[in-house]
Chains A and B, each alone.
Chain A
Amino acid sequence: MPHPPAPPQVAQKFMRKHPAWFIWVRSPGFIMGGFAVLAAYAAFLLPDPTAAPPTWIYASITLFIALLLATSANIMADGSKPETLKMATALLLIGVLGWLFYRYSGAQWEKLTEFFFNFPKLKGNWWILRNGLGVTLMLAVISAAGSILVGLAAAILRTYNSPTLNLFLKAYIDILRSIPMIVIMVLLFFALPFTGISMGSIMSTVVALSLGYGAYTAESFRAGIESVHSGQTEAARSLGLSRWQTLRRVILPQAIPVVIPPLTGNLVSMLKDTAVASLVAAPELLKRARELYTAKTNPTPLVAAALIYLAVLIPLVRVVNMLENRRKKRAP
C-alpha cells in the first residue's frame, strides 16, 4: 500500500481512494518487472543498426522509448517514492537515451572529435586564449565601471523630475536599449571615424558597452530609488537636508542593496557581450579563438573558448542567484 491506513476519525468522504489496479501499478514489484522487460528488450529485441531495415529500427526504438518513458513517469509522478530513487531514474533515463542516440544516430563520432574536440592541436597555443581572456575581463571591468557611472548619473538626474531633462534621458535609455549591442559597436567603430572621431577597437567597445549597459543600469537604479518610500524623502527634507544630502545619506543607502542583484545580472550579460567586440577587432577571447581557428583550420579553439566562457560565467551566475535569494530572504 502506498499510504498508511487512515485513522478512523477521518471522515469517509475525505479519504483518498485509489483503484486496485493503480496501487498494483505503483508497487515495487510491478516497477522491477517493468525494468526487467526493458532490459530484455534492449538485449534481444533492439535491432542491429547496420543490418536491420530502417522502418523496423524506427518502430522498435519508438516502442522502446515509449515503454522507458512510461516506466520512468510512473516513478516520477509518485509522491510517496523517495527523491533519491527519482534522481536515479532520471539519470538512468538520460543514460539510456544517450546510448540509443550514440548507437543509432549514424553520427561520425571520430570526425566530430577530430574537428571540434581536437585539444592536442591547441598545444602551445593556450597562451593566446589566455591573453584573449585577459582582454575580455579587462573590457568587462572597465565597461562595468563605465556603465554604473552612466546609469547612476542618469538615474540621479531623473530624480529631478525636470520634463526637459527627462525627455533626453528617456530618449537615451529607450534608444540605447532598443539597438542591438552589435549595431552600437559597429556604428562607433566604423561610422564614427567619418565624422572625425576615431576610437580604437578597445575604446569603442568600452564606450559601446558603457553606454548600452548604462541604459539598463539607469533603469535598475531608478527602480531602486523608486522603491524607497516617499516618506523617507519627506522626513529627510523636513530635517533640513538638501536634495543631494537626502539622496546621498538616505535614499541611495537604501536603494543600492535593492539594485545589486539586477545590476550583477546586467554585468554578467555584459561580460558575455564583450564577445561582440571580436567584430571590431578587439583582441578579446572570441577574436583570438577565431584567429586560432583560421590558423589551425580547425574549430576546436571555438569550443575551447566556449568552455572558458562557461568556466568564468557559471560561478558569476551562481553569485547573482545567491544575491537574489539573500535579497528575497531579507525583504519583509
Chain B
Amino acid sequence: MKESSAADKMIEVVDLHKRFKDLHVLKGISTVITRSEVVAIMGPSGGGKSTFLRCLNRLEEPTSGHIYIEGVDIMTPYIDINKVRTEIGMVFQSFNLFPHLTAIENIKLAPMHVRGISDREATERGMALLEKVGLTGKALSYPEQLSGGQQQRVAIARALAMQPQIMFFDEPTSALDPEMIGEVLDVMRTMVHEGMTMVLVSHEMGFIREAADRLLFLADGVIVEEGPPEQIFRDSRHPRTQEFLRAIL
C-alpha cells in the first residue's frame, strides 16, 4: 500500500510533535494513510494515541510537523480548519452528543449551520442515516433517553451527516457495556465495507484483526511497530509490543 499514487494519499503525517509544557507526548510521528485504508492504533495509555488522533484535525494543536489532508498542508495559517474538519468525522469515547437536542437534531445541526442545507433536506438525510445505524424509531429521543450503544450510533450518524471523506474513532467502544459493543462495531463494519477511510484507536482486537488493513503500535510518543494486525498479533518484533499484547490477552 505504501506504493500507491499521490492522489490516493488521504492523510500524510510528517514528523509530528506535540508537547504539553514539559511533557513530550508525540516525538516525531510520520505515516501515510491511503484512501479506503482502515488504520488501527493500539498502545499503552499515555502513549499518545488519542493525542495523535486529535492532532490530525487540530482539536489539539501540534507543536511541530506537517499534516497533509488530501495533499493540502493543514498547518499553514491560511487554512480554514473548520472546512478541513467537515471532511473528517470524529467519534468520541464518551459520545459527546448534545444533550439539549434530540437525536435527529444532533444529526441535523452541522449540515444545516455549516453546510447551509435546508431543514427539510437535513431531516431527510438524517433519517436515512438513523435508518443506517438502526435507530429510526429514536429520532425524537434525547440522548439521556438512549442507551450507551444507541448514543454512540447516533454519534456516528451525526459524524456521517457531514459526508466526510475520513472517519476518526477515539476508543468508540471503551465506555460501553459489553453487550452494546457489538451493535456499534456492526455499524463500523458497514462503513469499512463501503470503503470509508478510517483511523481507529481501539483495543477491540477481534474487530481490528478482521477490519483493519494496518496496525500502528504507539508507545512513548513514537510508532514502535506497524504492519498487518494479524502479523503483529501473531509475532510482534518489538519487546514493547510483546509486553503490551501479553498484558491484554
Q: Mark A231-251, 1 if CB is under 8 A from B, else 0.
A: 110111111111001000110
Chain B positions within 8 Å of A241 at CB level: 82, 109-110, 113-114
A28 at the interface (CB under 8 A from B): no
Query: How far apart sit A254 and B83, CA to CA, in the bound complex (Å)?
Result: 25
Q: Which of B32-40, B69-77, B94-102, B241-249 contacts A (4 or more CB under 8 A)?
A: B94-102
- Interface on chain A toward B: helix, strand, loop, or mixed SS? helix
Task: Say yes or no: A231-B94 contact (C-beta < 8 A), given A239-B162, A241-B82, A254-B100.
Answer: yes
Q: Which of B127-149 contact A (CB under 8 A)?
A: none
In this complex, which of B57, B86, B94, B98 has the most chain A Cβ atoms within 10 angstroms of its Cβ?
B98
Is the Cβ of A242 less than 8 Å from the Cβ of B88?
no
Chain B positions within 8 Å of A229 at CB level: 96
- The answer, among A231, A234, A237, A249, for a CB contact under 8 Å with B109, is A249
- The answer, among A231, A240, A242, for a CB contact under 8 Å with B96, is A231
In this complex, which of B54, B90, B113, B159 has the most chain A Cβ atoms within 10 angstroms of its Cβ?
B113
B85 at the interface (CB under 8 A from A): yes
B158 at the interface (CB under 8 A from A): yes
* Distance in Å: Cβ of A27 to nearest Cβ of chain B: 53
Is the Cβ of B59 less than 8 Å from the Cβ of A254?
no
Query: How far apart sit A172 and B113, CA to CA, in the bound complex (Å)?
Result: 34
Nearest CB to that of B158 among chain A residues?
A239
* Distance in Å: Cβ of A257 to nearest Cβ of chain B: 8
Is the Cβ of B100 less than 8 Å from the Cβ of A245?
no
- The answer, among B85, B100, B110, for a CB contact under 8 Å with A253, is B100
Query: How far apart sit A29 and B13, CA to CA, in the bound complex (Å)?
Result: 89
Is the Cβ of A245 less than 8 Å from the Cβ of B114?
yes
Query: How far apart sit A242 and B109, CA to CA, in the bound complex (Å)?
Result: 12
Is the Cβ of B59 less than 8 Å from the Cβ of A237?
yes
Query: How far apart sit A236 and B83, CA to CA, in the bound complex (Å)?
Result: 13
Chain A positions within 8 Å of B113 at CB level: 241, 245, 249
* Distance in Å: Cβ of A234 to nearest Cβ of chain B: 6
Query: How far apart sit A253 and B100, CA to CA, in the bound complex (Å)?
Result: 7
Chain B positions within 8 Å of A238 at CB level: 57, 59, 85, 88-90, 159, 168
B233 at the interface (CB under 8 A from A): no
* Distance in Å: Cβ of B201 to nearest Cβ of chain A: 14
B92 at the interface (CB under 8 A from A): yes
Nearest CB to that of A229 among chain B residues?
B96
Nearest CB to that of B84 among chain A residues?
A240
Query: How far apart sit A253 and B102, CA to CA, in the bound complex (Å)?
Result: 13
Is the Cβ of A234 less than 8 Å from the Cβ of B59?
yes
Chain A positions within 8 Å of B158 at CB level: 239
Nearest CB to that of A242 among chain B residues?
B82
Query: How far apart sit A229 and B99, CA to CA, in the bound complex (Å)?
Result: 11
Is the Cβ of A239 less than 8 Å from the Cβ of B114?
yes
Chain B positions within 8 Å of A236 at CB level: 98, 109-110
Is the Cβ of B92 less than 8 Å from the Cβ of A235?
yes
Chain B positions within 8 Å of A254 at CB level: 98-100
- The answer, among B59, B86, B98, B162, for a CB contact under 8 Å with A232, is B98
Is the Cβ of A231 less than 8 Å from the Cβ of B92?
yes
Chain B positions within 8 Å of A245 at CB level: 113-114
Query: How far apart sit A312 and B88, CA to CA, in the bound complex (Å)?
Result: 55
Nearest CB to that of A254 among chain B residues?
B100
Nearest CB to that of B109 among chain A residues?
A249
Is the Cβ of A237 less than 8 Å from the Cβ of B85?
yes
Nearest CB to that of B83 among chain A residues?
A240
Query: How far apart sit A261 and B94, CA to CA, in the bound complex (Å)?
Result: 29
Given pairs A235-B155, A240-B83, 20 additional interface contacts (CB within 8 A): A235-B90, A236-B109, A237-B82, A238-B59, A239-B85, A239-B89, A239-B90, A239-B114, A239-B159, A239-B162, A240-B82, A240-B86, A240-B110, A241-B82, A241-B113, A242-B82, A245-B113, A245-B114, A249-B109, A254-B98
> A interface vs B, CB < 8 Å?
229, 231-232, 234-242, 245, 249-250, 253-254
12 contacts between A and B (CB under 8 A): A229-B96, A231-B96, A235-B92, A235-B155, A239-B86, A239-B89, A239-B90, A240-B83, A240-B162, A241-B82, A242-B82, A253-B100
Instruction: Give 3 nearest A-B pairs by CB, closest first.
Output: A240-B86, A235-B96, A239-B110
